[in-house]
Structure 1
């Protein structure tokens, strides 16, 4: 019995030796691959910027109808009457984004030394905002004043939504190309080559703020029969920034 066991162990030694040898070879073949996968990738981070200028073709305008009256009702009714005239005119001109921007009714006071303020009447103000192309803005402003508007509270110049959207995409392309150029400049100096892009971050693709018309222009005599108020737009800048993580 013991002799058979010794013979079995003796005969099993070559097979066990072959198994151990194969395992060592297998581990030796896998080890370099594992080491390579765990090796951190070399990356370079570059941030690019893009700026695109577009013309402002639209005017965002805010008008006000301010009326004084001896009673709140009288002031408000007169303001409503004149506001209706202005709104009807603007509708006839098919302006865009016409809406009520504000309604206010306030007492007016007179102050005398040693006495409490005394109400002398009431002031009603209705504000209206709308948008129109720059080439029509001057004539519409003048006509709105003739129809009852008493104040021009603001004129801002903007580009169309489609122009801004197209400019944002173009600015993003410029920013991406700028980041790639910066990365190439650094890597070329170090005799390294750019590989795949590992990470992308869009930092911004901002919508430009409207450009206000100068206060001096808004204080001009828009009701003068001899002239049309000149309205000339400018340019808006659309900016974008992109950050790339690039392997090398």
Structure 2
């Protein structure tokens, strides 16, 4: 009875020590990674024209852009939209004198298309009048990304538990309850880019197959575990 009374007295005198005795925790962060094949290409291309007059440049941009857009619509591409229209003066600087030498105009569009169709469509777009290609990025279907996010979270949770077991086993301790859980995210990175020559005057890229590769989905989970 005397010993029990002493322990109670110590606990009351030092509540922090009592709390530490009641609950000891280990914090670990686990990682999960899932890789899924991409199936869709996000393409950005357009028309860029230079000439002597603003009206002439704008008319040529409009004519060629209309042909490119007509082609893309005939191929039933998805999410076709204009990304930018510009008309700018072009100056020549000589002997510290600025002289107007012409104009530069552009019309840029973006669209989505199945990856296996991207190479042929790029070639056709150049033939229709496109003169610049800003690049391609690749993405997986939304349902595949959602499934991969769940898998990555499960892997991250299991990884955190395994890390805790590895540490505690060396110390001859046993993992008990999970005190807190923090999900740090399971968001896929931006679509994987494939950079192409901005000038489409040479269409050699069209002879090369466009391959999307894989998209990586990462997750991180932090567990606070008692022992």
Query: TM-score, length-normalised on structure 2?
Result: 0.83
**Any idea what SS the aligned residue of 1:144 has?**
helix
Report the CA distance between 1:218 and its aligned residue.
8.0
Greater CA drift, 58-67 or 38-47: 38-47
Q: How many residues align?
A: 215
> Which whole-Å CA distance do the structure 2 matches of 1:211 and 1:168 have between them?
17
Report the more deviating stretch, 118-127 or 187-196. 187-196
Matching residue of 1:181: 162
Aligned counterpart in structure 2 of residue 242 of structure 1, from 177, 201, 221:
221
Give the structure 2 partner of residue 191 of structure 1: 172
1:232 corresponds in structure 2 to 211
Deviation at 1:54, TM superposition (A): 1.5
TM-score (norm 1): 0.76
Verify the 8 A CA contact 1:141 1:229 in the aligned structure 2: no
Give 1:98-177 correspondences, 5 Å limit. Answer: 98-112=80-94, 114=95, 116-177=97-158
Structure number with the higher strand fraction is 2
Task: Extract unaligned runs of 5+ from structure 2.
Answer: none
Larger radius of gyration: 1
Aligned ranges for residues 214-229 of structure 1 at < 5 Å? 214-215=195-196, 221-222=202-203, 228-229=207-208
Structure 1 stretches of at least 4 aligned residues deviating more than 6 Å after TM superposition: 34-37, 216-220
Structure 1 spans left out of the alignment, 5+ residues: 1-27
Q: Which residue of structure 2 aligns with residue 8 of structure 1? A: none
